[in-house]
Chain A
């Protein structure tokens, strides 16, 4: 039983890599910037899943911390890139005091 479960987890890691490679097609050939950002975001989610599965393969629970950190960085990187492309700068305050001048990404 234990051996076959190891094979299942290996196979799932392999299938996750296959889906990542498929996502790379959209990342390279995406027509617009937003398609590429979507592909990067989805790619990051798959990397988080792959890290969690990989921790089971090498049997070390510490690696889940890295997966958590990667999920966080993935989210922040997406927002930072979008902010840069919208405002051409990163030090823009997004929430203003008055409701009229309120801007958001």
Chain B
């Protein structure tokens, strides 16, 4: 494909120049999609790892919140950039807005319920136990 484009660019047809311009826009869109999708997946995986690693229920909430906000929004942003301006991108925007409203409410409700039930949080500085001590 690239070879074709180079050939088209070398022969000085006006259509070929037009094709080259359109390709730059596509390239920009492709790069944005890859960057947003990669960053979003990084945040989602880091949040999941945090939920597995952190010692306490209240601290796990923060890791889950990280997944819910930036991870989800960046993945949806990548899909919006990829789909261009269409009905699908508007719907994806609605999904993003909805997640932005409901996820903190659900997190707050779970945290409040645990607090009322009397689940005590770990407070003060905390370090991961050494592997030798754990085994």
Q: Is the CB of A104 within 8 A of B112?
A: yes
Q: Is the CB of B112 within 8 A of A38?
A: no
What's the least CB distance linking A56 to chain B, in Å?
6
Within 8 A of B (CB), among A16-51: 16, 18-19, 22-23, 25-26, 31-32, 34-35, 37-39, 41-42, 45-46, 48-49
Contacts of B20 in A (CB 8 A): none
Q: Is the CB of A79 within 8 A of B52?
A: no
Contacts of B102 in A (CB 8 A): 71-72, 74-75
Residue among A34, A45, A46, A49 making CB contact with B119, cutoff 8 Å: A34
Interface size on B, residues (CB 8 A): 50
* Interface membership of A90, Cβ < 8 A: no
Interface size on A, residues (CB 8 A): 46
Expressed in whole angstroms, the Cα–Cα distance for A74 and B106 within the complex equals 9
Residue among B30, B51, B57, B95 making CB contact with A34, cutoff 8 Å: B57
Most chain A Cβ neighbours within 10 Å, of B109, B110, B112, B114: B110
Mark A residues whose CB is within 8 Å of B: 1, 5, 8-9, 12, 15-16, 18-19, 22-23, 25-26, 31-32, 34-35, 37-39, 41-42, 45-46, 48-49, 52-53, 55-56, 61, 64-65, 67-68, 71-72, 74-75, 78-79, 82, 85-86, 104-105
14 residue pairs from A and B, CB less than 8 Å apart: A1-B1, A1-B30, A8-B34, A32-B119, A42-B67, A45-B68, A49-B71, A61-B91, A64-B91, A64-B92, A68-B95, A71-B102, A74-B106, A86-B116
